[in-house]
Structure 1
Amino acid sequence: MKIENGIYVLELSANIMGTSMDINTTLLCDKDSLILIDTAFPGQLHQIREAVEKEGIPFNKLNTIILTHQDIDHIGSASDILRNIPRTVKVLTHEEERAYINGEKKPVKIAQLEDRLDYLPDNIKIVYEKLKVGFEHSRINVDKTLIDGEELPYLGGITIVYTPGHTPGHICLYLNKWKILIAGDILSVKEGLLVKTDKDINFDNELNIKSIKKLMKYDIETVICYHGGIYKGDVNKRIAELINDL
C-alpha cells in the first residue's frame, strides 16, 4: 500500500503454530535505492517479493535492508533475501543489535526462555525449540551499524532514533520530510488506537518507557507500526497520553 511517494507499507500475513498474525514491513524507494525495513518471519520471501512487485517495483532492485531489531519476525527472511537477489544487498542495524543478529550473542528472547526452561510448560518449550531453530537459520552478517541521531540520505533524510527497551538495540526511523515514524515494536495499533507494546515482551521495560518519552522530541503525523499498521492523527498528543499512563 502506497502512503506517500516512495513510501509503501507491505501488509503480510503469517500462520505461526496455528495462530494467524498480520505484520507490516515498510518499503522505501527513491531514484537510486530500494530499502526494506524488517523482513518478516522465516519463509516469507515469496510473500515479500509478491507484495513489492504488486506495487510495480522490481524486487531485484532491492539494495538495502534495515533491521529495527533482532526478533525473529523482523529478521526471519533476511537470509533468504540475501541468497536470492543477484546483487549486493547491505544490511544495517543499530550497533547494539549486530552481535545478536550475526550469532555472536544469544538472542534475548532465547536467553529469557532458557533461564526458565526447567519451569516452562510443554507448549512453551515447543515454542522455544522452534525459535531456537529459526534464529540459527536466520543469522546474517551486518554490513553497517547505526547510531542514535544518524541521518541516512534517503527520501529527504531519515533520522535513526535509538529506542532501546524492547530489545537492547531497538531503533525507530523518522522520515524528516514526511513526519513519518517507522516504529518497529515500540508502539502498535490495536482496534484503531496507538498503544505501547506489552511490557511482558520487553527486554527492559523501564528503558522502553524512556524510549517512548524520547519520541516526543519529534513532530510525528503518521506512525507505521509493525503490528497494527498505520496510525494517523494527533500522534504526539497520543504519545503524551501513553506517557501519562505509564
Structure 2
Amino acid sequence: MQVAPGVYAIGAVGSTAYLLGGIELTLVDAGGPGSTPRILRQVRQLERQPRDLTRILLTHVDLDHVGALPALLEATGAHVFAHPAAFELLATGRVARGDRGLSSAWALVRGAFTRPRRVPLAGEPLADGMVLPILGGLRAIFTGGHSDDHVVYFLEQPRLLLAGDLLEGRRGHLEAFPAKGARPREQTVIALRRLADLDPLGILPGHGPVYRDNIALRLIRLAEILEE
C-alpha cells in the first residue's frame, strides 16, 4: 500500500516493513520469518526485480524485524545498513525475539530462528545523523530506548519518520513502545524531543497505522508523560 509518494507499507509477518522507491529500491526492516514472499510481491508490483532491491535498512534487531533477512539477502544480494551494535548482533547470529509474543504459526518455526545462526551479510554500519541518498535524503537517528541498537529514519523531503519500535499505534493512540535499552526512559524522552524538533508530518511505525496529525505535539506530549 502506498502511504506517500514512493513509500509503500508492506504487512510483513509480525511487523510493517516499508519499501522506498527510486532507481534503486530500499527496504526498511525485513519483517519476521516468512515475510520474503510478501516483500518481493510488492517489488514485482512496481514492475521491478528482486535484484533492484539494493539496500535493507534495519531499525533494530528483533525477530519480527529481521527474521526474513537471510532469505531476503539470498534473493536480492542487498547491502544492510544498521546501527553498529546491530551488526555485532548479526555477526554473532543472535537474532533477538520481539517482546510482543509469537503467533501460533510463528511458533512452529521459531526454533530455527531463535537459536544462534550466522546471517550472511554485506553492508555498512550507520553513524548518528548520517544521510543516505534515498528519496531526497534519508537521515539515520540513533534513539536507543526500545533497544540500544534502535534507529529511526527521517525522510527529509516528505518529512516522514520511519519509527521502527520507538513508537507504536495501540488502541487508536500513538504510544512509546515498551523499552528495554540501557537507559530506556531517559533515552526515549531525549529521542522524542529530538524527533519533535524535526517537525515531522507523519509517523510510519513498525506496528500500527500511519499517523499524520499534530506529530510534533504528539511527540512532546509523550515525552512529558514519560517524565511525570
Q: TM-score, normalised by structure 2?
A: 0.85
SS at match of 2:41: helix
- CA displacement at 1:202 relative to structure 2: 5.0
- CA displacement at 1:193 relative to structure 2: 1.9
Alignment pair present for 1:239 and 2:209: no
SS at match of 2:38: helix
SS at match of 1:147: coil
- Do the aligned partners of residues 138 and 229 (structure 1) sit closer, same or farther apart at CA in structure 2, a change above 3 Å counting? farther
SS at match of 1:68: coil
Stretches of structure 2 lacking an aligned partner (at least 5 in a row): 100-106
Q: CA RMSD in A?
A: 2.5
Which of the numbers 69, 90, 113 marks the counterpart of 1:78? 69
Q: Is the 8 Å Cα contact of residues 45 and 81 (structure 1) preserved in structure 2?
A: yes
Counterpart of 1:226?
A: 206
Q: Is the 8 Å Cα contact of residues 144 and 181 (structure 2) preserved in structure 1?
A: no
Alignment pair present for 1:30 and 2:57: no
Which of the numbers 83, 86, 89 marks the counterpart of 1:100? 89
Counterpart of 2:176?
A: 196
Q: Is the 8 Å Cα contact of residues 139 and 155 (structure 2) preserved in structure 1?
A: yes
- Do the aligned partners of residues 138 and 43 (structure 1) sit closer, same or farther apart at CA in structure 2, a change above 3 Å counting? farther
Q: 2:10 corresponds to which letter in structure 1? A: L
CA distance in 2, matches of 1:58, 1:150: 28
Larger radius of gyration: 1
Alignment pair present for 1:154 and 2:145: no
Stretches of structure 1 lacking an aligned partner (at least 5 in a row): 15-20, 113-126
Q: 1:83 corresponds to which letter in structure 2? A: E
CA distance in 2, matches of 1:134, 1:63: 26
Instruction: Give me the identity figure in percent.
Output: 24
- CA displacement at 1:210 relative to structure 2: 2.3
Residues 49-198 of structure 1 aligned to structure 2 (within 5 Å): 49-85=40-76, 88-103=77-92, 106=94, 130=110, 133-134=113-114, 136-137=116-117, 139-198=119-178
**What is the number of equivalent residue pairs in this alignment?**
217
- CA displacement at 1:139 relative to structure 2: 2.4
